[in-house]
Each structure stands twice: as C-alpha cells, then as structure tokens.
Structure 1
C-alpha cells in the first residue's frame, strides 16, 4: 500500500505548524494523497519567526502542490485567537464549511528547552513561554477549528507529540508540554466521539528534521554519515514517515476506533503497511528494546 494514491482527494486539511519538520512532512504527504492543505506558521517569505530559520510556509505549500495536492499557505500566529479565528473563517468560506483533518503540530520550543537544569533552577518565564507555544496554541486552534468538523459529524484531529508513553522526557517543561498534548487528544476524543470525530496523539521515532540534519552536519542525501556521531541516528526516520502515518489514519473509515489513543509510527506501519521515503520501515521502539533498554530502561508504559 502506498500514500502515492489519491485516497484523500476532495478532503480538506489544516496543518498548524507546517513550516518545517514533522508538520511539513505531514502536510506534503496529505497533499500527495490528494488533499487540499492549508499550511500555517509564523515563518513566511516576507517575515521570519523568532526562530529565524529559512523554511517558509510558502515552500511547504509549493511542495504540497508538487506532490499532487493543493497547498494554501496562510501566515498565522496560533497563539493569537483572532488570527486563528480568521484562518478558520477563511477555510470555511473557501471550502464550503469543510474541514476533514486538523493537525496540531505547532511547537517552536527548541530554543526554550533547558536540558541541563531541574525545575527549581530553570528560568520560569522561559518555561511558561514554552508551554504557551506548545500547548496553548493547540487549544486555541482546536477551539476554532472543531466546529467545522462537528457540524459535518466527521473528521480527524491529530496532536503531534514526542513519545507515547509515561517515560520522562528529560526536561521538565519539555516533558510537560509533550505529555499535555497527549492529554489534549484524550480530552478532545471524549468530547468529539458523540459527533463522529476522532482525535489521537501521534509520535514519530527519531525524526530526521531539517534542524537535526544541520546538527549532525549532513543533508538528506548523506544523512547516514551522522551515525558516526550518534549510532542511534542510523535508525532515524524522515518527516514523510510521520506524514504517511497521518494519511493512513485519515483514510481509515474506522479511525474512530482509535480515538483517544496515543499512537506511534513504529506501531502504525505494521498495521497500515506504509514505508518511509526510501522504502524502509524504521522502528525506533524495536531499536530501543535491542540496544538502549539495558542502559536506559524500557521505553515506558503506553498511555
């Protein structure tokens, strides 16, 4: 089975935080499956966000269209309720009230994450700012977008997180943000299920984002060279893998059976049969069990 079929032709998606990384991978793969994808974020061709990275929503939209979908870039600060309200109003107007897939992938917390200090030694304002970026933005976006799905009594909400277990993620505010996003999926699922709308949390494994490639001093063309610095990098996966997991879920007529669950690419590929961009099927949980569990303990209990 491949996502390179138009299984989502006629569907409308909003990928909030689709400028780069997992959000971009999801947006492009939704396009490859035939969807119209509104891709949002704060980095555009006319204005960069405070992350000051080169990727833009326009570039993502171009890749969506090149993949076979329709990419629509809309610069949006998802911490601003009025900007989000206007975004959703535009989608409703242009798509006759239709929204089939909402992906909450806003993050922006990398420069705010303190991996060195415990809570009592961290900068409180910085930590709370991380939570506002990584959690409040999801709440605001769902608040305005969900009525479109409820009105049609169908749809899928995907909350992108890191990890699907109770294992501590190594930094207080980072862990709180990623765990909270899972709880957002659980809470939305409970309220949306009577309306036929599913909500799940979804994690990639070791995601080979643009920033991570830069960190290892490699490109996607020679990414395996990064394993010299970290052997675990050899078991990483592209953002396309995460995107194909979302496509598989969005195309599943019985996706409501999964609502409220915290899912992972390393489980979903076994059920849906999708592959990464190079045809492989990375399984970071299996790699962890074989090579890291003895030193770091089990990956954790599923949530």
Structure 2
C-alpha cells in the first residue's frame, strides 16, 4: 500500500492508534489526528497513556509514513484545518472516522453513570457522542470527499459497534452508533455514482489500553489487537469487489476470514453477531 494515503481520526490511542499502525505496517502514508501531542500531556490527571508523539515513535520502525495533526474534533475549524492540509497534497484514498470521546468520564464522583436510564444521563455525554464524534465524522468526510470523487476511487469507514442494533447499556451510545451506520449507508448511496465506497465496520472486543487495564472483567479468549481491524481495512481497500460492500455494516472478524487475515499473534477472531450481545 505504498501509494495509498489514509486519514485516521482519533489515533493517539486505542483502536485508532492500532488502525494507523497497521496501515503504516502495510506501507501507506497515514495522516492521524488526536488531541494529545505528548506522553507527558497524556499522563496528566491520571489519564490513559497515548499520544501522537508516542505513535510517531512506533511508526519510525514501519515502512509507511505518518503525518501528525494535533486536532480537537469538537472544533470544526480544527477539523477543516486538517482537511486543508491533506487537500494540499491533492489525494486521500481512505478515511477512517474513529474519533470517539464518548467513553470519557464514565465515572463521576465515584459513581459509574454509564448505565443510568436516558433521563438521568448527563447531557455532556450526548454532546460527546453526537455533537463531537458524529459531527466530526460528517465534517471530515464532507471536507475530503471531493478529492475521492475527483479521483473516482475512495473508501470511507465509520468505526461503529453492535450497540447500533441491540441495547448495550446506554441509550445515547446506541443512538450514536445507529447514526454512524446510517451515515455510512447514505454516504454510500450518494457516492456510488463516483465509484467511492462507504461502510460501517464493527470490531470485536479489542485489547485497547482501557480494556487491558480491566482485563480481569473481560473474557479475552476471542479478543482482537487494535491492529487487526486496520489490516482488515487494508484488505477491504484491496478488494476488487469493494463497491459491492459499500453501504453495508461489516464485521471485522468476518472480513478477516474472507480475506484470510489473521491477527498479529496469529489468532483468527471468531465473528460475533447481534445475538451474542443480546445475550450479554
């Protein structure tokens, strides 16, 4: 993928970082956004580690080229600035909309407020998921789609999850993920005449920093590395039948089987279904 240019939003840690590293390992030029530039800043206030500078150090050993953009996607001006910098290069093949501040501040004053009923949810949680994450996905795609349309090739990936289809403990979360799926589907409809694809992609249980910190509470036997979904996205890009998948909800583990992609440890994750989450 040495001639491929990608943008991964929210890549300082978690799934976004893994996607960026996977695409870099495959040789792509990868633009990444994140709010946290340095590891020193990441560790302030007991926050989870992860920064753009840390990502750049990991990327140094990989064949691809990483381009860092310090960006707070709650600010449309900063989102547009990133798009302008990419437009200056006149090319973007893959956009991965991953920026997601919705998991922040799940504990307030010692109470885990995530599972409260919708009428007791703090409105800032709506603002994080709808006002920032969904808006950022729309605004970023809006800004870069003309490059893909002009090139008559491109791929937009919205990272989503099963909460779009089954109840996952938080009504705002479910609405936001359902909106991400619908966004991808409608993007696909309007982009199809231009040979540009848009999909919604579901990971499984991913070994992010936060999950590993609480690994004793999870069944890790079928977990995925953060890089796995990135290699799947690379496989999706290489798929000659990509346009037949445009507009669909796709499961990373299913695509891994279709493309014969194993995780970085050699494990082949078992695809989950809505029924698996409905039982949990």
TM-score norm. by structure 1 comes to 0.83
CA offset digits 1:232-286 (Å, max 9, x no partner): 2222111111111111011223211110011111211121000111101011517
2:66 is matched with which residue?
A: 71
**Cα RMSD (Å):** 2.3
1:87 is matched with which residue?
A: 82
2:262 is matched with which residue?
A: 275
Deviation, 1:110, is 0.9
SS of aligned partner of 1:275:
coil
Aligned equivalents of 1:109 and 1:50: distance in 2?
A: 18
Counterpart among 102, 105, 109 of residue 98 in structure 2:
105
Answer yes or no: is 1:120 the counterpart of 2:115.
no
1:28 is matched with which residue?
A: 21
Q: Is the 8 A contact 1:62 1:71 kept in 2?
A: no
1:254 is matched with which residue?
A: 241
Aligned equivalents of 1:82 and 1:125: distance in 2?
A: 21
SS of aligned partner of 2:61:
helix
- How many residues of Structure 1 are paired with residues of Structure 2 in the alignment? 272
Deviation, 1:75, is 0.4
Q: Is the 8 A contact 2:13 2:49 kept in 1?
A: no
Q: Is the 8 A contact 2:48 2:210 kept in 1?
A: no
Deviation, 1:50, is 8.8
TM-score norm. by structure 2 comes to 0.89
Q: Is the 8 A contact 1:164 1:264 kept in 2?
A: no
- Rate the CA distance shift 1:283–1:212 in 2: closer, same or farther, 3 A: same
Aligned equivalents of 2:162 and 2:121: distance in 1?
A: 23
Structure 2: gaps (5+ residues): 107-112
Deviation, 1:27, is 0.7
2:159 is matched with which residue?
A: 160
Q: Is the 8 A contact 1:112 1:130 kept in 2?
A: no
CA offset digits 1:104-142 (Å, max 9, x no partner): 000011125543211112223433333212211111111
Structure 1: gaps (5+ residues): 1-7, 217-225
